Chains A and B, each alone.
Chain A
Amino acid sequence: MPGGYSEKVMDHFAHPRNVGVIENPSGVGKVGNPVCGDVMEMFIKVENNVITDAKFRTFGCGAAIATSSMATEQIKGKTIDEALKLTNKAVAEALGGLPAVKMHCSVLAEDAIKAAINDYMIKTTGKGLPDFKPHEEHD
Chain B
Amino acid sequence: MKNIYMDYAATTPTHPEVLAAMQPYFTDHFGNPSSIHSFGREGRKAVDGARDTIAAFIGARSDEIVFTSGGTESDNFALEGVAYANEKKGRHIISTAIEHHAIGSCLEFLKKRGFEVTLVPVDKAGSVDPDDVKKAIKPGTILVSIMHANNEIGTIEPISEIGKACRGKDVYFHTDAVQTFGHLKVNVNELNVDLLSASAHKLYGPKGVGMLYIRKGVNIVPYLHGGEQERGLRASTENVPGIVGFAKAAEISGNEMANEALRLRKLRDKLISGILTRVEDSILNGHPSQRLDNNVSVSIKYIEGESMLLRLDMEGIAASTGSACSSGSLEPSHVLLGIGLPIEFAYSSLRFTLGRGTTDQDIDVVLEKLPDIVKNLRKMSPMYK
Contact = CB atoms under 8 A, between A and B. Distances in A.
Task: Answer yes or no: are A and B bound together in one complex.
Answer: yes
Interface of A: 2-3, 10, 13-14, 16, 19-20, 30, 34-41, 57-62, 64-65, 99, 101, 104, 139
Contacts of B309: 2
Contacts of B332: 37
- Which of A2, A34, A57, A64 has the largest number of chain B CB atoms within 10 A? A34
B314 to A, nearest CB: 6
Given A39-B382, A62-B306, 18 more contacts: A2-B310, A10-B310, A13-B310, A30-B382, A35-B343, A37-B304, A58-B380, A59-B302, A59-B303, A59-B380, A59-B381, A60-B307, A61-B305, A61-B306, A61-B325, A64-B307, A65-B307, A99-B328
20 contacts: A14-B314, A19-B379, A34-B343, A34-B347, A34-B383, A37-B304, A37-B330, A39-B383, A58-B381, A59-B303, A59-B382, A60-B307, A61-B325, A61-B326, A62-B306, A62-B307, A62-B310, A65-B380, A101-B330, A104-B330
Contacts of A57: 380-382
Interface in B337-375: 343-344, 347
Contacts of B310: 2-3, 10, 13, 62
Contacts, number: 67
A3 B382 contact: no
Given A61-B306, A61-B307, A61-B325, A37 B347 contact: yes
B12 interface: no
Interface of B: 302-307, 309-310, 313-314, 323, 325-326, 328-330, 332, 343-344, 347, 379-383
A76 B379 CA distance: 22
A70 B379 CA distance: 18
Contacts of A13: 307, 310
